[in-house]
Every structure is written in structure tokens, then in C-alpha cells.
A and B are shown apart, each in its own frame.
Chain A
Amino acid sequence: MIHSLFLINASGDIFLEKHWKSVVSRSVCDYFFEAQERASEPENVPPVIPTPHHYLISVLRHRIYFVAVIQSEVPPLFVIEFLHRVVDTFQDYFGVCTEAAIKDNVVVVYELLEEMLDNGFPLATESNILKELIKPPTILRTMVNTITGSTNVGEQLPTGQLSVVPWRRTGVKYTNNEAYFDVVEEIDAIIDKSGSTITAEIQGVIDACVKLTGMPDLTLSFMNPRLLDDVSFHPCVRFKRWEAERILSFIPPDGNFRLLSYHVSSQNLVAIPVYVKHNITFREGSSQGRFDLTLGPKQTMGKAVESVLVSSQLPRGVLNVNLNPSQGTYTFDPVTKLLSWDVGKINPQKLPSLKGSMSLQAGASKPDENPTFNIQFKIQQMAISGLKVNRLDMYGEKYKPFKGIKYMTKAGKFQVRT
């Protein structure tokens, strides 16, 4: 099982270590540093690194490497999932997961790590349970604690740990009972230079924020459940009911949680909400290149495309650019060659464009690589797959809750090749 954990920052310092079994010397991280040096980019460090006596399994989040040390055969995904869970918990507790935040809360961090893993076996990883055991730090609470001498540590056995619904604590009470669901879809797509779609798929999630008194039993049904053929559920969802009736039936955890995530594969037709017209040319022998980019909406069901951001890694030979955006602002970093254009909202009547010239190194030959455009955007009030919630019902409690459903579509890894 998981032996030790080291947290390493971008400059290669170990700023926290935690051992669940015997102490493993820090020098084991040298193998990690070696790999880090070999990697061209921080994210290229391989996640599994063998050393003579241990294995290092790492994840990179928020520019911090979480490196777990294991000694025997352990499923690597188990470790990776656990590490991500650690990061999520830190983020949940401290708002951000940065080196500073972790150092500021080092005692809570240790208490958390101690509760999350026992001898390398996961113990309590549900944020509801952890919060009962260790209260998250708030300014108010820290003040009160210093004055009264009380602690962050709960005195009670976390009730949820043992019940049949371990994800929900008992005795929840709210004056305003509300249940909100966000359907968020991300489109991952690769568009080739002629504008045709090479792959496109949708990763969707339904995130919930449920603040309901008592033990409510909810059912959620869809207009078109047929779309959901590849789903992963929160453990609270009754799988049998879904299999038989395509209805989500569950006793929700208290607070924020991810009800389900789903995947609409390339076999279904995926609508592409934006198109890109581009013309990037370098002339042989000249130190100038032309740059011309226009964006436009496509298949958006009449909804506006907002928060559009285009970024691209230009060829190494490009020294600088001189461009003229029809709207928004652009930046170009001559060192990293990263061009980024903050477009804002696309107005279908007046399409946004970015035109101008690029200057190349004098005498250098025409660059070989073609830049790829990474596009980000948001579309409110629409799930691009067409998924629609039919109704939400509550059983088991008498009161009438507020209910709300929000839809949003975002670009995931949306790439246009040139």
C-alpha cells in the first residue's frame, strides 16, 4: 500500500513529507528529480517511476507534484486516484491548493493525511466525513479557537461512516431547502485544416448542490436518457433502477457533489459550435509571414458563444507578431512563442478576426511545424449533446424544496489544426 508521500514544488524542493509506515529517506526523490530534469515540460514527467527498492507514482496538480512512494505491488490507478482525492480535499479545505496554503495549514494537512490513510489503506476520503472529523479552517474559527482553546478536531464519531448511506450524515437541518443541479458539458474535438471534424466527443457531468433537511430520496429523470450509454455514478445512485428504468434514484450526500459523469462518444453526431477560418503563410526567403484568423458560430441553437479565448504555440522561428484584433485583446510572448487572444463574445453579425504579420528570424528557413489553435468558449443554457432533465421528485420528506437546473457547454480540449 502507500508508504509515504512527498510534496515537491516546481523548483524541485520537497516541502512536505508524510510517512504512513516506516520512514523512507528523502533521497528516494532523487530518482524523481532525475526524471524531472529529463522531461522537457513539467507535465511530461512520467507518472510511474521505478527505483531499485520503491516505485514512485506521482500526479501534477496546481504546479505541485504529489509523489507517493510504494514498495510492493499496488494498483497504480488506486494510488493516482487517491492522490487526486488528496488534492481535491486540500482545495476543498483551503480554497486553493498551493504551496503557501499547504504550509499555512500544515497541521490540518497532517491531520487530514492521517485520517485519509491508515498504514497505507484509505480510511476516510469522503469530504463530508472528513469535515466532521476535522473542521475546515475559517478565519472566524481560528479566532474562536485561539480565544477559547477549542480545536478543529470533532469529538464525535463520524456518523456517516457506519450507516448504509455512508456519504450522508444524519440530523441535517436547513431552513431553506434547496437542490440545484448543473449540467456541464465539455467538447473535446480535433478539427483538421480543411475544417472537417476528426474526432469530437463530449464529457459531461451533473454537479449537484443539495441542501435538504433529513433523509430525502430524490429521483431525476431525463427527456432523452438514451444519450447516456457510458456513465459513471456517485455511489449513492441506485444502479439497478437505472438499468431497468433509466431513472436516477438516490439519497444525496449533503452539500456539493458530482452526481454523475458521462461520455458521449464519437459514434453519436457531435455538434461543433464554432468554426475557425485561418490563413497562416510564410514565404520562402522572406522574413515576414501573414496571419489571418476569423472565428464564427456554428450549430449553437441560437445561443451566444461567450468567453472565447484562442491560444496557439507559434513556430519557434517567429520573432514577433504585429496583429490587429477586430475585438478583444491579444498578447504574444516572444520567449515561449505563445499567442493568446481574448475574444470575448462572438457577435454573429460582425465576426471577430485577428489579422496582421509575423516577423521571422532573418535568413532562417520556413518553419516546418504548423501551429495548432486551442479554443476555449462557453455557451450558457445549453447542453450541446441535447441532454435535458425531465423532472426532479423528492420522497421521504414532507417539505417542498426549491429546485433548479442549469445547463452549460464549454470547450474542453478543442483544437484546430492548420
Chain B
Amino acid sequence: MTDSKYFTTNKKGEIFELKAELNNEKKEKRKEAVKKVIAAMTVGKDVSSLFPDVVNCMQTDNLELKKLVYLYLMNYAKNQPDMAIMAVNSFVKDCEDPNPLIRALAVRTMGCIRVDKITEYLCEPLRKCLKDEDPYVRKTAAVCVAKLHDINAQMVEDQGFLDSLRDLIADSNPMVVANAVAALSEISESHPNSNLLDLNPQNINKLLTALNECTEWGQIFILDCLSNYNPKDEREAQSICERVTPRLSHANSAVVLSAVKVLMKFLELLPKDSDYYNTLLKKLSPPLVTLLSGEPEVQYVALRNINLIVQKRPEILKQEIKVFFVKYNDPIYVKLEKLDIMIRLASQANIAQVLAELKEYATEVDVDFVRKAVRAIGRCAIKVEQSAERCVSTLLDLIQTKVNYVVQEAIVVIRDIFRKYPNKYESIIATLCENLDSLDEPDARAAMIWIVGEYAERIDNADELLESFLEGFHDESTQVQLTLLTAIVKLFLKKPSETQELVQQVLSLATQDSDNPDLRDRGYIYWRLLSTDPVTAKEVVLSEKPLISEETDLIEPTLLDELICHIGSLASVYHKPPNAFVEGSHGIHRKHLPVQHSSIDTGESPVSSGPAANIEQTHVIPSQGDLLGDLLNLDLGPRSTCPRCPPLTVLIACNSVLLLQVWLPAVKAKGLEISGTFTRRQGQMYMDMTFTNKALQHMTDFAVQFNKNSFGVIPTSPLPVHTPLMPNQNIELSLPLNTIGPVMKMDPLNNLQVAVKNNIDVFYFSVLIPLNIFFVEDGKMERQVFLATWKDIPNENELQYQIKECHLNADTVSGKLQNSNIYTIAKRNVEGQDMLYQSLKLTNGIWILAELRIQPGNPNYTVLYSNFATETCVKV
């Protein structure tokens, strides 16, 4: 007697038969019938037409029958909203049942009926259940709020259910607390105000108490919630950590990983030299290792997370490399992840072991895995310099096996090794050349061609080798074609006499017979270079290449920090921030690792709240009028008049501007942060900058370039950075500028687009140059000339502004303006108002004249300024 009998019905009139059975007088028959209906439903048959008949069976004392009917209701109510209303009464009645199990069941099912019409009838019963005397009912009701929110968010809020949920956090029963937290976290994911869970020390304390007593699933919700809390100081962080650490010994791997997340996050707040910090680090290692003895699926998620953890804090697992050794019957997804972590943990101390393992893997069956193992050997060579020689000889051994894909993969990584350690291992080139014929993958062919071109002078028959590739030029992939072109040009520059014909041939193949624009362009460039100036060609083509860095595969530090906040989540499996892939992620806010308290202090002081406002400045594009308004406003206006102007103090001290703005945040520039400001000292303009390296690798080869701009600003010297910038170092520099460069009108006028290059990439940002640095020192006009000019200026070139809230008298104003090279030509008093007549001259020779009207006692000034050539100014 098994349930499989419910699946065997004769097709004919099946629904009809069920209908009859559902209306049978006997309770037993009806139950059997409902079971058949459920069975039909589970295999995807449509039994929705039986809705009224099934609902009729709901009024029963039989708990099992009730449950079965509820199951049916949840599935079909959506299709039959009108019918579903029939069920409402039973729900309301069940919510009053003396048996808490029935009350809970009713409130649970109710929320699963996703019909808008019904939900409003359910509010009252739900409200009662949220205050039920039985915790089992309360915890079920908490989840029901989340369900309702999914159906009708507005109603849940209007009915005050969110507040009731928040009250449940203080419930005496840990299970109720856990469910309330879970419900709130789910709601906040789709809620615009994601701060539903107001985390304060009292709440945190309640959560921590509940953490010890609730179920494993509740612990996960609570731990995830805790990880969003920012403790106010290290003492608090430490006490939370102490109460979370026991969770590391939990049998449920999800609990363990959530606990790891909380600890990894709060570790940031603990002082690095404290004993507790080091004990905590030690405690983190065993649970992570234990995760790897779980089911393969658990291992996979754990490994993806460990990959993040070893990048952030390699010290935790540096002793444990052996647990990442691959077993031959691990699933492939586990093998590949283990390999990745092995390379991250490889160091001089363990490299011998790692290499022996990798060599072993290279003889396995799975092709993908073998390839990755070979690639891993190359990465080890690049990462651990001392091991390079051993790696190269291992690779040579592998090439000797003549297994086709192993050889190809080995050649690709050997090219990278050549680029990392030039002029060290070229002796093996001969061995590589032997395998030329067996290469059939574009990657490997391109790598081999690159090697031949790069070391053409040491390979006697380089021209023959390259010529052999040239035969099937048009059948090659673009990558190979481009590399081949470059390689032959290199060869020609090294051995011009013998290879003239070859280079002609490849250039004509690339430029005349190819459809690929990239290839043609490159061909033409080489052609022209070679035909006009072979010396420059040599400099360009054979220039020294930057060494490749070992850490190119590391996750960018700011992203890594964000991902650490998401340990255990999908984001950590994909190594992407959640907003990059979660649908409807508007509710998700970027999480940041907490910052140690000492720096939070400065973060709140007004001094560095400046940069935040100033970052905004680079994005705001004021209209031109505004800008000119600012120009004068700047110098007088107190801080409040214009949010965009640098603080008054700065401009009053004008020539020694200290306030740096962040021009290029590290997030946008792979770890390079540039902040800076413009100043004018002794008649010379400077761009004062601070470069900070927030990446993990050193940076070299800095250069800067400006786009054409309104004032023709260009740097007069290259960037004075000569030494490599080490990680976490910064360098201050001052770049002198002049205005003899090409001119192009920008919008806004003072916009300057800057490109900064280093060995990693080129980065672009734009800044607004404060106009006052263009005011030249000889901006004082003769009185007569001023008078004449003032009259000559047509009215339409006049603009009038009010400067508000400025409590200075005429003399101080004029003194301050003079510091910024705005000169007062004349001053008179008309009808109790001070009139100041002023002139200033821009670097491009344009004069601006101004009349400043100051009424004593009235903080508002009126500025009338005229420009002999507003038009020219616009046209510059």
C-alpha cells in the first residue's frame, strides 16, 4: 500500500471521477480523493477546476485533511481569486482555534495565498497572531508578515506590521527573535529604506542572547544581521566577537561561514598588536579547514570564500596548504578552486611541495584541469621568484611528454615567464622550437610567435620559422595574425638585411588582403614607421616592455573589501558585488568594512568632510554665469553662500592652499588615488597633487597629459615621479603649469580633463580649475584707461550679481581681493554706499572690470561687472 497508486488513474474522465469522489459522503473517501488530487498536482497536471470541491472539504476536524486542502489552496488560489474568498472564513475561524498548532497552520497558509483581494481580510487575524500567547504562533506570524509584504508592501506598512515585527526582536523566545530578524532582513531587501532593522547596542545584545538558544537556521539569520552592525569602538567589537566565536564549532557549515563573516569584518576594528586579535586569527583557521571535509557542494562554496579570505588575510591559512591538495575523485569544480587557492598560498617555504603536486596533476585525465595545472606552474614561477628555475624545468619536463594540450599550455606560460624574467631562461628556446608543428591553438601559436619575434637575434632560423606561419596567414585567428605581424617587424629591425622580402610580404598581407581594421591599421603604422624613420621604428617596436606583475589575478582591493562583507553570500561565490547581479538590487546598499575608530574620529570632523562635498564639485557643471558669479563670490562669500566654493579661509590664504580634493578615487583607478588642488605662487601656477597607491602592487612609469582646454593650460615639465610608488605609500608633488598650450572652449569654462598613466593603465578624470589662479599679478589697470574702457563696454556685456551675507567692510574686502590679484582702482562713496571699482586680468589677456557696491550695515553686496570682451571670453 503505497502512495504510488494515486498516480495510476485512467485518463478518461479522470477529473470527473475525482469530482464525484470529493463530494462523497464518507470522510474517508474524500480524504483519498484529496490525496489523489494532490498527487496529480505534484506531477504538474492541472486540477484547478476542482477548486470549489476541494475547498468544501476544508471544514473538517481532521488535521491531515486540512493540511492537504491547504496545500491545494496555496497552489491554485492565484488562478481562482474569486473562489479563494470562500476560504477566508475558515482561516479567520482557524486563527481562533484553541489548538496553537491549528492557529499557526492557518496563519501560515493564509500568507501563502497570493491573492490581493484576500489579503485585507487577513490583517486582523494576523495582528492577533503576532500577539499570541504561544511563541510558536508568534514566530509563524512573523514570517507571515514577510509573505504579505511580498504581496502588498504598502498595506503591510500602513497596518503597522513592520513596527510589530520590530517589537518581536525583544521577544522572550529566541525562535521568535530569529524569525523576526529573518523576516525583517527579507523585507529590507526590497524596501527602499533598508535600515528597517535599527541596530543599536540594546538590540545587538538581545540578538546575541537569542543567538545561543535558537535553531541553526535562526543563527544564520542573526549572524548575517550582526554583520551589518558597526560597533562604536574596539571594546564593543571584541565583546561581540567573543560571543560569536563559539559558532565556529557548529555542525552546520552555513552557521560557520556566517560567523566567519562577522569575525572577518570586526577584525578590522581590533588593534593589530592586541593578543585578542592574534588569538582570533588562530581560531579562524580550523573551522575553514573543516568546511573542506564536507560534501563537495559545501566545499565549493567554502573554497570560493576561502579564496577571498586568503587574499585579505593570507596569514590565516598559510600553514594549511596541504588541505587544498586535490584528490583525484574530487568533482572538477572543486579541483579548479583548490588549484587557485594553492597558488595564492604558494610561498618560498612550500613551493617544492606545491610544484610536485602540480606536476602530478598535469598527468591527470581531465583536460581542463590539466591545463589549469600547467598554467598554475607558470603562475608559481611568476609569484615566487626563487622557484622560477624549478618551475621552468618542470615545464620543460612536461613539454617532453609531447601531450599536445600540455605542450601548448606550457608554451603560453613560458612566454609569461620570459616577460617576468627577461634574459634568463632563453636557453630553452631551442626546445620550444621543436614543438612548433604540434601547436594548433591560437593562444599557443601566438605565444610561440611572440617568443620567436622577441628573441629573433638568438634563433638562427627565425626567419624560416616565421615564414612557415605566414603561409596560412589568412586562416589564422586575429590574435595570431597581429602577433605574427609584430614579430616579423621585430625580426626585420634586428636582421634587416635578410628579411626585407618577408616584411614586405607580411605588410602587404596585412594591409591589402585583410578585412580586419585592427590588422590593417597596425600594418599601416608599421609600414609608415619603417619607411619614414627606421630609428624611431626601432625605438617604438623594440622598446623595453614593462615587467608583468605576479598579482594581476588578484581582486582589486576595494572590491575585495566589499566582498569580505558578503562572505557566505552569492556575491562571494561569483566574486562580484551584489548590485552587479542581483535583480532589483535598489535596496542593497554597498557595504564597507568598518574603519578603525581613530580614523572614524577624523572622518567626522569638518576638516575632511570637505572632500566629500568636493567630490561632488567635480560632477556639478555650473552654467557660465554662475561660474563668473562664483569667481567673485568665491573671494568674499562666507562658506554658506555657495556649497561649491572652497572654504573662505582657504581663499583668503589664497597662495597657500592646503585643502586637497580627491580628484581620482582609488576605486576608479585600480588602486591609484589622486587628490590635489591648484595654486598660484610667485606668478606661477601649480597643480599640487598627492598620489596614493592603494593597490597591492607597486606603480611606476607615471605620466600626465591634459586635454585641450579653455585657457590652454599645459604642464611645463613631466611628472616628477622617479621612484616606483610602493603599496600604501603616497607621494606629494607639484606640477608647474603654463598657459601656452592649444585652446579649446570647455563647458564649463574652467573644466580641465586630465589623463594620468602608470604601468597599470591610463586613467581619466576632470577637474574644475578655480578661476582665481588665472588672475595675473599685473591686473591693475590705469585709472584713465579703466574709465575709458568702462564706458566703452556695451551694456549687454554687463552682468549684475548679489553677494549675500558678507560682513566685511570695503577696506578688508579690497585687501582680500588684492591677495587674489583683483585690484581696486578707485573707491567712492555715493549715497552712503561704498563703490569699489576693480580690475583683473586673466592669463589670456582678457580684462574684467567690476563695480562692487557695498552698503554699510547691509550684508548684501551688489556686483556689476563688465567685461570688455565677454564674447571673446566665450569664444576663447
Listed A/B pairs (24) with beta-carbon separation below 8 Å:
A46-B333, A72-B186, A75-B569, A76-B573, A77-B254, A77-B568, A78-B254, A81-B216, A103-B4, A114-B67, A119-B146, A119-B147, A121-B183, A126-B215, A143-B1, A161-B175, A188-B293, A199-B322, A231-B249, A233-B250, A263-B290, A263-B293, A265-B320, A413-B327
A residues 252-301 in Cβ contact with B at 8 Å: 258, 260-261, 263, 265-267
Determine which of A161, A164, A199 lies in contact with B325 in the assembled complex, contact meaning CB atoms within 8 Å: A199
- With contacts A265-B286, A265-B323 known, is A162 near B1, CB below 8 A? no
Query: Cα distance A390–B257 when bound, in Å?
Result: 33
How many B residues touch the partner, as a band? 35 or more
Contact yes or no, A125 B295, CB < 8 A = no
Instruction: Give the chain A neighbours of B136 by CB distance below 8 A.
Output: 157, 161-162
Taking the complex as formed, is A44 at the interface, i.e. its CB lies under 8 A from any CB of chain B?
yes
Query: Which of B297-305, B377-385, B698-706, B841-849 binds A?
Result: B297-305
Contact yes or no, A155 B63, CB < 8 A = yes
Query: Which of B360-368, B386-394, B793-801 binds A?
Result: B360-368
Taking the complex as formed, is A232 at the interface, i.e. its CB lies under 8 A from any CB of chain B?
yes
Query: Cα distance A105–B68 when bound, in Å?
Result: 14
Taking the complex as formed, is A166 at the interface, i.e. its CB lies under 8 A from any CB of chain B?
yes
Contact yes or no, A75 B224, CB < 8 A = yes
Query: Cα distance A6–B195 when bound, in Å?
Result: 34
Query: Cα distance A46–B143 when bound, in Å?
Result: 31
Q: Mark A62-96, 1 if CB is under 8 A from B, else 0.
A: 00000000011111111011101000000000000
Which partner residue on chain B sits nearest A237 by CB separation?
B249
- With contacts A229-B286, A261-B251 known, is A76 near B570, CB below 8 A? yes
Query: Cα distance A126–B99 when bound, in Å?
Result: 22
| B residues lining the A interface (CB < 8 Å) | 1-4, 6-7, 27-28, 31, 35, 38-39, 42-44, 62-65, 67-68, 71, 75, 78, 99-101, 108, 111-112, 114, 134-136, 140, 143-144, 146-147, 150, 173, 175, 179, 182-183, 186, 189-190, 213, 215-217, 220, 224, 246, 249-254, 256-258, 286-287, 289-290, 293, 295-298, 300-302, 319-320, 322-323, 325, 327-329, 331-333, 353, 356-357, 360, 363-366, 401, 403, 568-571, 573-574, 578, 581-583, 588
Interface of B is mostly: helix
Contact yes or no, B253 A77, CB < 8 A = yes
Query: Which of A50-58, A213-221, A396-404 binds B?
Result: A50-58
Taking the complex as formed, is A306 at the interface, i.e. its CB lies under 8 A from any CB of chain B?
no
Contact yes or no, A232 B327, CB < 8 A = no
Instruction: Give the chain B neighbours of A239 by CB distance below 8 A.
Output: 246, 249
Contact yes or no, B3 A80, CB < 8 A = no
Taking the complex as formed, is A153 at the interface, i.e. its CB lies under 8 A from any CB of chain B?
yes
Contact yes or no, A80 B298, CB < 8 A = yes
Contact yes or no, A151 B63, CB < 8 A = yes
Query: Cα distance A121–B145 when bound, in Å?
Result: 13
Query: Which of A174-182, A325-333, A368-376 binds B?
Result: A368-376
Query: Cα distance A162–B588 when bound, in Å?
Result: 34
Taking the complex as formed, is A190 at the interface, i.e. its CB lies under 8 A from any CB of chain B?
yes
Tally of contacts, chain A with chain B, CB under 8 A? 253
| A residues lining the B interface (CB < 8 Å) | 1, 15-23, 26, 39-41, 43-44, 46-48, 50, 53, 55, 57-60, 71-78, 80-82, 84, 103-108, 110-111, 114, 118-119, 121-122, 125-126, 142-143, 146, 149, 151-157, 161-162, 164, 166, 188, 190, 192, 198-199, 201, 203, 229-235, 239, 243, 258, 260-261, 263, 265-267, 313, 316, 368-370, 372, 374, 413, 415, 417
Which partner residue on chain B sits nearest A87 by CB separation?
B295
Q: A43-B296, A203-B293, A230-B289 are in contact. List 11 more A-B contacts (CB 8 A).
A: A23-B75, A57-B297, A77-B254, A78-B254, A80-B253, A80-B295, A80-B301, A105-B3, A119-B112, A157-B99, A368-B401
Determine which of A71, A107, A153, A232 lies in contact with B251 in the assembled complex, contact meaning CB atoms within 8 Å: A232
Contact yes or no, A50 B216, CB < 8 A = no
Contact yes or no, B250 A232, CB < 8 A = yes
Query: Cα distance A328–B412 when bound, in Å?
Result: 49
Query: Cα distance A111–B65 when bound, in Å?
Result: 11
Determine which of B140, B300, B353, B363 lies in contact with A46 in the assembled complex, contact meaning CB atoms within 8 Å: B300
Contact yes or no, B140 A118, CB < 8 A = yes
Contact yes or no, A73 B189, CB < 8 A = yes
Contact yes or no, B323 A153, CB < 8 A = no
Contact yes or no, A75 B220, CB < 8 A = yes
Contact yes or no, B573 A44, CB < 8 A = no
Determine which of B3, B254, B256, B364 lies in contact with A369 in the assembled complex, contact meaning CB atoms within 8 Å: B364
In the A-B complex, the 4 residue pairs with the smallest Cβ-Cβ separation, listed nearest first, are: A230-B286, A151-B64, A104-B2, A77-B254
Contact yes or no, A415 B301, CB < 8 A = no
Determine which of B44, B114, B323 lies in contact with A201 in the assembled complex, contact meaning CB atoms within 8 Å: B323
Which partner residue on chain A sits nearest B76 by CB separation?
A23
Contact yes or no, A368 B135, CB < 8 A = no
Query: Cα distance A369–B298 when bound, in Å?
Result: 29
Q: How far is the CB of A33 from chain B (nearest CB, A)?
A: 16
Contact yes or no, B329 A374, CB < 8 A = yes
Query: Cα distance A122–B220 when bound, in Å?
Result: 11
Instruction: Give the chain B neighbours of A118 by CB distance below 8 A.
Output: 108, 140, 143
Which partner residue on chain A sits nearest B26 by CB separation?
A149
Contact yes or no, A108 B42, CB < 8 A = no
Instruction: Give the chain B neighbours of A111 by CB distance below 8 A.
Output: 64, 67
Instruction: Give the chain B neighbours of A125 by CB distance below 8 A.
Output: 215-217
Instruction: Give the chain B neighbours of A199 by CB distance below 8 A.
Output: 322-323, 325
Contact yes or no, B331 A44, CB < 8 A = yes
Contact yes or no, A43 B331, CB < 8 A = yes
Contact yes or no, A50 B581, CB < 8 A = yes
Q: How far is the CB of A344 from chain B (nearest CB, A)?
A: 23
Contact yes or no, A48 B143, CB < 8 A = no
Query: Cα distance A156–B302 when bound, in Å?
Result: 40
Instruction: Give the chain A neighbours of B287 by CB distance below 8 A.
Output: 230, 232
Contact yes or no, B215 A166, CB < 8 A = yes
Query: Cα distance A342–B134 when bound, in Å?
Result: 58
Instruction: Give the chain A neighbours of B568 by CB distance below 8 A.
Output: 75-77
Instruction: Give the chain A neighbours of B65 by CB distance below 8 A.
Output: 151
Contact yes or no, B253 A81, CB < 8 A = yes
Instruction: Give the chain A neighbours of B175 by CB distance below 8 A.
Output: 161-162, 166
Which partner residue on chain A sits nearest B567 by CB separation?
A75
Query: Cα distance A142–B4 when bound, in Å?
Result: 13
Determine which of A47, A50, A258 lies in contact with B297 in the assembled complex, contact meaning CB atoms within 8 Å: A47
Q: Which of A258, A263, A316, A415 has the largest number of chain B CB atoms within 10 A?
A: A263
Contact yes or no, B3 A77, CB < 8 A = no
Contact yes or no, A368 B217, CB < 8 A = no
Contact yes or no, B257 A77, CB < 8 A = yes
Contact yes or no, A80 B297, CB < 8 A = yes
Query: Cα distance A233–B256 when bound, in Å?
Result: 12
Contact yes or no, A233 B4, CB < 8 A = no
Query: Cα distance A356–B114 when bound, in Å?
Result: 69
Instruction: Give the chain B neighbours of A15 by CB distance below 8 A.
Output: 43
- With contacts A199-B325, A415-B327 known, is A22 near B290, CB below 8 A? no
- With contacts A125-B217, A265-B289 known, is A73 near B588, CB below 8 A? yes
Q: How far is the CB of A358 from chain B (nearest CB, A)?
A: 17
Q: How far is the CB of A4 from chain B (nearest CB, A)?
A: 12
Q: Which of A111, A152, A153, A192 has the largest number of chain B CB atoms within 10 A?
A: A153
Q: How far is the CB of B187 from chain A (nearest CB, A)?
A: 11
Query: Cα distance A19–B3 when bound, in Å?
Result: 20
Q: How far is the CB of A282 from chain B (nearest CB, A)?
A: 14
Query: Cα distance A253–B403 when bound, in Å?
Result: 57
Contact yes or no, A106 B403, CB < 8 A = no
Determine which of B3, B35, B403 lies in contact with A104 in the assembled complex, contact meaning CB atoms within 8 Å: B3
Which partner residue on chain B sits nearest A239 by CB separation?
B246
Which partner residue on chain A sits nearest B182 by CB separation?
A121
Q: Which of A80, A104, A152, A372 has the largest number of chain B CB atoms within 10 A?
A: A80
Instruction: Give the chain A neighbours of B573 by CB distance below 8 A.
Output: 48, 76
Instruction: Give the chain B neighbours of A40 by CB distance below 8 A.
Output: 332, 366
Query: Cα distance A361–B179 when bound, in Å?
Result: 64
Query: Cα distance A41–B320 when bound, in Å?
Result: 29
Which partner residue on chain B sits nearest A193 by CB separation?
B360
Query: Cα distance A78–B63 when bound, in Å?
Result: 31
Instruction: Give the chain B neighbours of A47 by CB distance below 8 A.
Output: 296-297, 300-301, 333
